[in-house]
Chains A and B, each alone.
Chain A
Amino acid sequence: MLLVPCPNCGPRNSADLTLVGESEPRPDPAATTPVEWRSYLYEEDNPAGWTRETWYCRLGCGRFFVTERHRAENRFRNPPLGPSGEPPGRT
């Protein structure tokens, strides 16, 4: 079982969350070529190492957050952040 560190709910079974994908800055639509836009939408680096990912806490707090995971070892590091990089959760 993979325990995902939700910043609001604490460690939760990954079945309670949805992996949205790799987290990268959204390009400016006005200055982006179709190729770059397609790459942003559909392509992932998928490294066998650390990567920043966006998760959605589907059954818990219903919030998106960003965290770092080692894709080969399924380890998490650093406190998760909100979708814009700020500490998440308005309680």
Chain B
Amino acid sequence: MPEQAEFTGPVAGTREVSGTGWSLRDQSPIPKLLVYEDFESDGLVRGHLGVAFGASTTAPDGVLVCGVRPGEWLLLGERSGSVPPASGAVTVDLTHGLAMFRLTGPAARHVLAAVCSIDIAEAMLPNGAVCGASVARLACTLARDDVAGEHSYLILSQRSAGRYLFEALGDAGGSRT
């Protein structure tokens, strides 16, 4: 029987840093499933997930469903009922392929704005919004997912660049405090 490989995060040592009004946590071990809609599925997958491109919602089973691209969704969390039926959907487990960090706090927006290519003002990226953008010159997916009314962003990048991104975000926050 094959052994289950232990998940090793992209960030060695400390997996959380914080400053005045912000904290950054490595959440890479959270399961991540990418779902593509088959061209012939005629919207079945979107109907099942109920999320449009650029938006996100929390499914009844607690999974955060993000519309990351037209016809593509990212499911974040231990999934059960969120996974669409096999017909019309292609799923790829990216748990080990993506790094994921959560930037939280009243100053989180300013920390992220220092290294992000797009306008992340409240009107442009409200709670629940999802977009692709350059963060510290990396191609990343941003998901605004506020926690208890506090600004919070999920930032996903290629796992191989995870340590760099973690340090770049920490440096951006450090330069503000």
Contact = CB atoms under 8 A, between A and B. Distances in A.
Contacts, number: 47
A16 B70 contact: no
Interface string B43-85: 1001000001110000000000001011100000000000000
A63 interface: yes
A11 to B, nearest CB: 10
A59 B53 contact: no
Interface string B115-143: 00110000000000001111000010000
B37 to A, nearest CB: 7
A8 B70 contact: yes
A59 B67 CA distance: 15
Interface string B86-102: 00000000000000000
A61 B133 contact: no
Interface residues on A, range: 10 to 19
Given A8-B53, A89-B53, A91-B52, A59 B70 contact: no
Contact of A12 (B37, B43, B67, B118): B118
Contacts of A63: 69-70
A61 B37 CA distance: 15
Contact of B132 (A59, A88, A90): A59
B122 to A, nearest CB: 16
Residue with the highest number of chain B CB atoms closer than 10 Å, among A8, A13, A58, A91: A91
Interface residues of B, number: 17
Interface string B3-38: 000000000000000000000000000000000010
A74 B130 CA distance: 29
Given A58-B139, A89-B53, A90-B71, A16 B134 contact: yes
B119 to A, nearest CB: 10
9 contacts: A13-B117, A15-B117, A57-B132, A59-B132, A62-B132, A89-B70, A91-B52, A91-B67, A91-B71
Interface of B: 37, 43, 46, 52-54, 67, 69-71, 117-118, 131-134, 139
Interface of A: 8-9, 12-13, 15-16, 57-63, 88-91
3 smallest beta-carbon distances between A and B, as pairs: A91-B53, A60-B132, A91-B52
